[in-house]
Amino acid sequence: MPLQNKKVNAAITAVGMYAPDKILDNKYFESIVETNNEWIISRTGIKERRMMENGATSDMAAFAVQDLMKNSRLKPEEIDVIIVATVTPDMFFPACACLVQDKIGAKNAWGFDLSAACSGFLFALETGSKLIESGAYKKVIVVGSDKMTAITDYTDRNNCILFGDLASAVLLEPTEDLNYGIKDSLLYVDGTGKDNLYMKGGGSLRPASHETVDNKWHYIYQDGKVVFKVAVKGMADVSYDIMKKNNLTSDDVAYLVPHQANMRIIDATAERMGITKEKVMINIDRYGNTTAATIPSCITEYYRNGKLKKGDNLILAAFGAGYTWGAIYLTWSID
Q: Where in the sequence numbering do the catalytic residues fall?
A: 118, 259, 289
CB of 40 to ligand COA, least distance (A): 6
CA distance 314 to 275: 12
How many residues belong to the chain? Answer: 335
What is the DSSP track for 78-98? G--EEEEE-SS-SSSSS-HHH
CB of 64 to ligand COA, least distance (A): 20
Q: Which of 28, 35, 41, 94 binds ligand COA (CB under 6 A)?
A: 35
Which positions from 189 through 218 interact with ligand COA, judged by CB under 6 A?
Answer: none
Distance of CA 128 to the CA centre of its chain: 14
Contact predicate 83/127, CB 8 Å: yes
CA distance 59 to 56: 5
CB of 306 to ligand COA, least distance (A): 30
Nearest CB to ligand COA, comparing residues 254 and 321: 321
Does residue number 265 form part of the binding site for ligand COA (CB under 6 A)?
Answer: yes
Nearest CB to ligand COA, comparing residues 112 and 228: 228
CB of 270 to ligand COA, least distance (A): 15
Which positions from 277 through 306 interact with ligand COA, judged by CB under 6 A?
Answer: 289
Q: Which of 137, 319, 329, 332 binds ligand COA (CB under 6 A)?
A: 319
Nearest CB to ligand COA, comparing residues 138 and 157: 157
Distant-in-sequence, close-in-space partners of 260: CB < 8 Å, separation ≥ 6: 266, 282, 283, 284, 287, 288, 289, 290, 294, 298
DSSP bridge pairs for 197: 222
Q: Which of 22, 157, 218, 279 binds ligand COA (CB under 6 A)?
A: 157
Q: Which of 150, 224, 240, 250 binds ligand COA (CB under 6 A)?
A: 224
113 Ramachandran zone, left/alpha/beta (phi>0; psi -120 to 50): beta
Total residues interacting with ligand COA, rule: CB under 6 A: 19
CB of 111 to ligand COA, least distance (A): 25
Angle between the N-to-C axes of helices 263-273 and 224-245, in degrees from 0 to 180, rounded to the nearest 10: 30
CB of 114 to ligand COA, least distance (A): 16
Distance of CA 283 to the CA centre of its chain: 12
CA angle 248, 254, 256 (to 5 degrees): 85
Which positions from 90 through 119 interact with ligand COA, judged by CB under 6 A?
Answer: 118
Does residue number 55 form part of the binding site for ligand COA (CB under 6 A)?
Answer: no
Q: Which of 22, 43, 103, 233 binds ligand COA (CB under 6 A)?
A: 43
Which positions from 61 through 80 interact with ligand COA, judged by CB under 6 A?
Answer: none
Residue 192, φ and ψ in degrees, nearest 5: -70, -15
CB of 108 to ligand COA, least distance (A): 35
Contact predicate 322/117, CB 8 Å: yes
With CB atoms as reference, the residue minimizing the distance to ligand COA is 224
Q: How distant, in Å, are the alpha carbons of 248, 289, 333 from that of 149?
A: 38, 11, 34
Beta strands 165-175 and 140-147, pairing class: antiparallel
Angle between the N-to-C axes of helices 37-44 and 263-273, in degrees from 0 to 180, rounded to the nearest 10: 30
Does residue number 161 form part of the binding site for ligand COA (CB under 6 A)?
Answer: yes
Q: Which of 261, 293, 298, 316 binds ligand COA (CB under 6 A)?
A: 261
Residues at the site binding ligand COA, with contacts judged by CB under 6 A: 35, 39, 43-44, 118, 157-158, 161, 224-225, 227-228, 231, 261-262, 265, 289, 319-320
